[in-house]
Amino acid sequence: MGIHRIGLVVPSSNVTVETEMPALLGQHADAQFSFHSSRMRMQAVSPEQLRAMNAQRERCILELGDAGVDAVLYACLVALMSVGPGEHQRVEGLVAEQLATGGSEAAVRSSAGALIEALRALGARRIALVTPYLRPLAEQVVAYIEAEGIQVHDWRALEVADNTEVGCIPGERVMDAARSLDLQGVDALVISACVQMPSLPLVQAAEDEFGLPVLSAATAGAYSLLRALDLPVDIPGAGSLLRADAPAAARQ
């Protein structure tokens, strides 16, 4: 069994995606993975720091190209969604072009694009979501998703600006925000629209409690990476999204 090398482009103050992604993909029955990160400097989740962070992308891609990765995930959702509609397609294209110039055929995905891909895979047209962001950035995330043809029926912004603090938001605070949402007629709940806000232990529990598909930026990223690598999507205990290819009896 070969090892699939996953390259992660992450903000320098992020720690959660490098914990949750190995935890998710490490449960895959048919594949093994290694994880290799390159970091872009960012401490506060503000428009100015997000722009400065995005400007470091090319260096990060050069570093990951040197590692011979099989797939790259640009792991900062708000960094792309705050730029404007369609930004994930533009950036994924630029990253793929840069990698190809260096002779790499690595698949390229982003957390922003992965969330849209996952919602479409679930057939979700009307959703609710929880974000850690300050309200103006959260509004940009909502607008980005709606520009992709998915209605955001209700949402919450926890308004945490310091990115290190985002990585320490207690699960109960996230669940309280989720419980305050109007979920009437909603097709899916995004319990964390941010790869830095910890949520992996909440996804299955929330899906069981609310009785609808629950996903996070991390589970969406795992789904997208598995699809990009043409691997079965069958990871237990992390929501129905990641059981897409499980035998029907195992999804019950």
Q: How far is CA 237 from CA 13, 28, 116, 215, in A?
A: 28, 12, 21, 12
Which one from 50, 61, 75, 76 is the annotated catalytic residue?
76
Which contacts of 81-87 are long-range, i.e. CB under 8 A and separated by 24 or more positions? Answer: 81/112, 81/140, 81/141, 81/144, 81/145, 82/47, 82/50, 82/137, 82/140, 82/141, 83/54, 84/144, 85/143, 85/144, 85/147, 85/148, 86/147, 87/112, 87/144
Residue 188 CA to residue 225 CA, distance in Å, equals 20
Of 250, 221, 220, which is closest to residue 234 (Cα–Cα)? 250
Whether 60 sits among the annotated catalytic residues: the reply is no
3-state SS of 138-202 is: HHHHHHHHHHCCCEEEEEEECCCCEHHHHCCCCHHHHHHHHHCCCCCCCCEEEEECCCCCCCHHH
Q: Which of 61, 178, 194, 225 is catalytic?
A: 194
DSSP state of 7: E
Cα dihedral 68, 71, 76, 80 in deg (nearest 10): 110
168 is catalytic: no
Among residues 123, 18, 23, which one has the least CA distance to residue 73?
18
d(CA 192, CA 202): 9
User: Which residues are catalytic, by number?
Assistant: 76, 194
